[in-house]
Chain A
Amino acid sequence: MAQFSAEKLAKVNEIIARYPQGKQKSALIPVLHIAQEEFGGWLSAETMDYVASILKIEPIEVYEVATFYSMYNLKPVGKYVFEVCQTGPCMLNGSDDIIEYIKNKLGIKVGETTADGLFTLKTVECLGACGYAPMMQLGKHYREHLTKEKIDAIIDECERNAVTNN
């Protein structure tokens, strides 16, 4: 079974040390973020059980949290996940068109992954970039003031990165 590297384990222990003795469950959300990054961008049951064992809590305590928060993926996703905001302020600035454009360009529906495993399209609710709408999250960062041209450039950029990283 996959396990955290020594470096990640040290990070986990550093997080646990932030809380009082016996309150290590508080580390659950940050540790799930680390696990998702480390183990392929999603949380398998095996991964969740592993996190439970590290934090000395019951697996069910991990499952209920993992299923509650929208940032955890419970099934495999593409290498690049486009999370496009569709809430009011983004809608006022044309997010519907952006979502349509990405769907057509990648040939997938919302929630799907391209056959080559590169791209997943998700719609999300307000990410706090309303003044820079329309927008999406890609990995750790936001891409804002989206246009069709910008989407083309982002897709190109991802495809290039995917080649150089392989």
Chain B
Amino acid sequence: MGRKLLLEKAHVPGIRNYDVYRREGGYRSVEKALKTMSPDQVTEEVKKSGLRGRGGAGFPAGMKWSFLAKPEGVPRYLVCNADESEPGTFKDRYLMEFIPHLLVEGLIVASYALGSGRTFIYIRGEYAWIVDILEQAIAEAKQNGWLGKNILGTGFDCEIYVQRGAGAYICGEETALIESLEGKRGNPRIKPPFPAVKGLWDCPTVVNNVETIAAVVPIINITGEEYAKIGVGKSTGTKLISACGNINKPGVYEIDMTISVEEFIYSDEYCGGIAHGKRLKACIPGGSSVPILPANLLLKTAKGENRMMNYESLSDGGFATGTMMGSGGFIVLDEDQCVVRHTLTLARFYRHESCGQCSPCREGTGWMEKILKNIEYGKGKKSDIDLLWDIQRKIEGNTICPLGDAAAWPVAAAIRHFRDEFEWHVQYPNAAQNRNYGIAHYADPLPAAAAKTS
């Protein structure tokens, strides 16, 4: 059983209420930080912890904080990115629904460290009921003196507000989020200047994911040094993984990044194996934009080592044979799933969500969707596969924001690893309408953990 830092108390009855949360040790990190530490010391602890941004990019959070410009007389802002929209990802929702005070607590400490007196939670518009949960938690925190003026008599003032988006994946990109928070279309900005210098209302701004902010609470409580001892290498602490697709136990799991992918999929503590006794075909382990891997490369790296659930191991082999930790949205495909059809839904998603600023993304995403649709519905040509490859290459790296890359990678990886399945669709269009290609040569060598249970 791995160590739990975020969800340990998530199922204590009534933990959504302030009294229960406080009784369970809540808000201790605010007391510790505000009464015994300077803002820079808090930042220093986060640096020592090795915490990496949990939204998907994995950038060291403490370093991001230390980049924040601090010109005299200019307000600074902390914005919490709760615009969770990457297909396969539903961990932030879980955290906010079950243990909202953990986020509020983390935000107070982080606001103190960064000097943000006005902090925003930007939440995706569809999570409408979670707004109520968060506002309730914020109101309770304020009633009990953790927010407002002169918190704990330290002279630090802070308010937290929840702002709803209105349906746009792109607003998870931090500069698009800032634009949206300013009441505009979610068009990403050209960087530099980075938000740390010129962000919300042109003021220095830090944007952090929900899970990143929540992790600040245990970091302050146990110290950054202790936090860094959990996990392995540069994958410190715990990570929330939202598991979905064709598994027995979909849900949100907190892992300490020392377990193998095989254990995560097959053990009863986590996903509980592939649903309906089927076999594993493929998996996208870090949200829809990271490369899909066939079972064999998912469970073992190209070097033949067990692939582990951490940043380094998942990306071992680069994009040729590896993938990414991303947001932790773990999507599992069983032997009866069609990779072409699945890729088509992702291509449609990115076409729908492209903001339209950059032509490679605006035009390319629609073009890829159209070709994939043709292939899936038996109207594809063999040259279409190369054309798809060509288009995705021309999107990647040629756009203002990473949505272009996010749209290109799933298509690239699907062709890289499942080219035979695409070719089969083109060659046997009628058969492809009636049945699936199946599991083929990239099937799992039936993993030891699965063999044991069957």
Q: Using a Cβ–Cβ cut-off of 8 Å, how many residues does chain B contribute to the interface with A?
A: 56
Interface-centre pick from B85, B128, B242, B341 (highest chain A CB count, 10 A): B128
B224 in contact (CB, < 8 A): no
Beta-carbon contacts under 8 Å, B59-76 to A = 75
- Name the segment of B86-94, B101-109, B389-397, B432-440 touching the other chain: B86-94
Task: Collect the chain B residues with CB atoms within 8 Å of residue A65's CB.
Answer: 183-185
Q: Is A23's CB under 8 angstroms from B118's CB?
A: no
Interface-centre pick from B75, B124, B163, B242 (highest chain A CB count, 10 A): B163
Q: Is B168's CB under 8 angstroms from A89's CB?
A: no
Q: Is B163's CB under 8 angstroms from A126's CB?
A: no
Task: Collect the chain A residues with CB atoms within 8 Å of residue B201's CB.
Answer: 19-20, 23
Rounded to whole angstroms, the CA-CA distance of A86 and B346 in the bound complex is 10
Q: Is B331's CB under 8 angstroms from A92's CB?
A: yes
Q: Is B352's CB under 8 angstroms from A92's CB?
A: no
Q: Is B341's CB under 8 angstroms from A91's CB?
A: yes
Q: Is B331's CB under 8 angstroms from A130's CB?
A: yes
Q: Is B337's CB under 8 angstroms from A92's CB?
A: yes
Q: Is B352's CB under 8 angstroms from A125's CB?
A: yes
Q: Is A33's CB under 8 angstroms from B125's CB?
A: yes
Rounded to whole angstroms, the CA-CA distance of A93 and B242 in the bound complex is 16
Beta-carbon contacts under 8 Å, B236-262 to A = 242-246, 250-252
Q: A27, A33, A72: which contacts B183 (Cβ < 8 A)? A: A27
**Cβ of B177 to closest chain A Cβ, rounded Å:** 11
Task: Collect the chain B residues with CB atoms within 8 Å of residue A28's CB.
Answer: 183-184
Known: A33-B125, A92-B337. A130 touches B90 (CB 8 A): yes
Interface-centre pick from A64, A68, A131 (highest chain B CB count, 10 A): A131
**Cβ of A69 to closest chain B Cβ, rounded Å:** 4
Task: Collect the chain B residues with CB atoms within 8 Å of residue A133's CB.
Answer: 244, 250
Q: Is A88's CB under 8 angstroms from B331's CB?
A: yes
Q: A69, A127, A129: which contacts B165 (Cβ < 8 A)? A: A69
Task: Name the residue on A nearest B201 (C-beta).
Answer: A23
A70 in contact (CB, < 8 A): yes
Q: Is A23's CB under 8 angstroms from B182's CB?
A: yes
Task: Collect the chain B residues with CB atoms within 8 Å of residue A98's CB.
Answer: none
Q: Is B242's CB under 8 angstroms from A130's CB?
A: yes
Q: Is B87's CB under 8 angstroms from A89's CB?
A: yes
Q: Is B87's CB under 8 angstroms from A87's CB?
A: yes
Q: Is B169's CB under 8 angstroms from A125's CB?
A: yes
Q: A23, A26, A55, A130: which contacts B244 (Cβ < 8 A)? A: A130
Q: Is B124's CB under 8 angstroms from A26's CB?
A: no
B329 in contact (CB, < 8 A): yes
Rounded to whole angstroms, the CA-CA distance of A158 and B124 in the bound complex is 25
Task: Collect the chain A residues with CB atoms within 8 Å of residue B165's CB.
Answer: 29, 69
A114 in contact (CB, < 8 A): no
Q: Is B90's CB under 8 angstroms from A29's CB?
A: no
Task: Collect the chain B residues with CB atoms within 8 Å of residue A129's CB.
Answer: 90, 93
A141 in contact (CB, < 8 A): yes
Task: Collect the chain A residues with CB atoms within 8 Å of residue B126's CB.
Answer: 71, 127-128, 137
Task: Collect the chain A residues with CB atoms within 8 Å of residue B90's CB.
Answer: 128-131
Interface bits A63-88 vs B (CB < 8 Å: 1, else 0): 01100111110000000000000111
Known: A65-B183, A71-B167. A130 touches B353 (CB 8 A): no
Rounded to whole angstroms, the CA-CA distance of A127 and B353 in the bound complex is 13
Beta-carbon contacts under 8 Å, A22-50 to B = 23, 25-30, 32-33
Task: Collect the chain A residues with CB atoms within 8 Å of residue B348's CB.
Answer: 86-87, 125
**Cβ of B82 to closest chain A Cβ, rounded Å:** 10
Q: B125, B245, B349: which contacts A125 (Cβ < 8 A)? A: B349
Interface bits A92-132 vs B (CB < 8 Å: 1, else 0): 11000000000000000000000000000000111111111
Known: A23-B182, A29-B163, A89-B245. A130 touches B329 (CB 8 A): yes
A160 in contact (CB, < 8 A): no
Task: Name the residue on B nearest A24 (C-beta).
Answer: B183
Interface-centre pick from A61, A64, A91 (highest chain B CB count, 10 A): A91
A18 in contact (CB, < 8 A): yes
Q: Is A72's CB under 8 angstroms from B89's CB?
A: no
Residues of chain B touching chain A, judged by Cβ–Cβ distance below 8 Å, are: 75, 84-90, 93, 118, 124-129, 159, 161, 163-169, 180-186, 201, 242-246, 250-252, 284, 288, 329, 331, 333, 337, 341-342, 345-346, 348-349, 352-353, 355
Apart from A70-B167, A130-B245, what 17 extra A-B contacts exist at CB < 8 Å?
A18-B161, A25-B183, A26-B181, A28-B184, A29-B163, A33-B125, A33-B164, A55-B183, A68-B186, A69-B186, A71-B125, A72-B166, A124-B167, A128-B90, A128-B124, A128-B126, A131-B243
Which A-B residue pairs are the 9 nearest by beta carbons? A69-B166, A70-B167, A28-B183, A131-B250, A71-B167, A130-B244, A25-B183, A126-B87, A68-B185
